[in-house]
Amino acid sequence: MNELKALNKSGLLIMIAAMLFFSACGSRKYSARPGGSPSTAAKAAEAMSHLKSKELSRFINDWTGVQYALGGLDKRGVDCSGFALLLQRNIYGNELPRRSRDQADVVNEKAIANLNEGDLVFFSFGGSAVDHVGVYLNNNFFVHASTTRGVVVDDLSIPAYQRAFVKAGSLKK
């Protein structure tokens, strides 16, 4: 009988951990394919080459490939809201709340066509609430911590991001 209780408890813990993983910072189901097409990679490199801020370019290059870790805030692993928080703090001197849904509350909303380097882009992969954030670069590209690929530069025009897009904007002053 005690073995059955232990199995039920461990099964419940595994289920809760899986739910947290898949609800945080987007879901694997909607991630862009690893590697992307060569043309997407070339366009991402071009977007990086057109950054106005060299500090931003260095920051992104330094963090690219760091693996996703729910609640992470360092190079051992970082989640989407942690990456946005660190980027905003280190590059622009801005403070953000820790969670992506709270970060969405501190922006003045803008159309994608009006975004500037450093603005935030928000998505909902798991329902109606914001559950993922990235930082806009230029030419429809943004940087974020993907649950499957770690910190990457991606194209906002990818259908998965278009479907999940909620809002974008600059920080309220």
Tally of structural domains, the chain: 1
DSSP annotation of 33: P
Task: Write down the pTM of the prediction.
Answer: 0.79
Instruction: Check which CATH number belongs to the domain holding 50 and give it.
Output: 3.90.1720.10
How distant, in Å, are the alpha carbons of 12, 52, 75, 111 from that of 116?
44, 10, 26, 10
Catalytic-labelled residue, pool 137, 144, 146, 149: 144
Residuewise pLDDT in 10s, the chain (173 residues): 544 444 455 554 444 443 433 334 543 322 334 455 557 889 999 999 999 999 999 999 999 999 999 999 999 999 999 999 999 999 999 999 999 999 999 999 999 999 999 999 999 998 889 999 999 999 999 999 999 999 999 999 999 999 999 999 999 98
Dihedral, CA atoms, 164, 48, 57, 116, nearest 10 degrees? -60
Whether 132 sits among the annotated catalytic residues: the reply is: yes
Residue 115 CB partners (closer than 8 Å, separation 6+): 121, 136, 168, 169
168: alpha, beta or left? (left if phi > 0; alpha if psi -120 to 50): beta
**β-strand 141-146 against 165-171: which pairing, if any?**
unpaired
Range of the domain at 21: 2-171
* Token couple for 11: 């099964």
Nearest Cα to Cα of residue 120 among 84, 161, 157, 72: 84
Catalytic-labelled residue, pool 88, 132, 166, 170: 132
Whether 144 sits among the annotated catalytic residues: the reply is: yes
What pLDDT score was predicted for residue 46? 93
What pLDDT score was predicted for residue 30? 27
Catalytic-labelled residue, pool 24, 60, 66, 80: 80
**β-strand partners of 122:** 133, 167
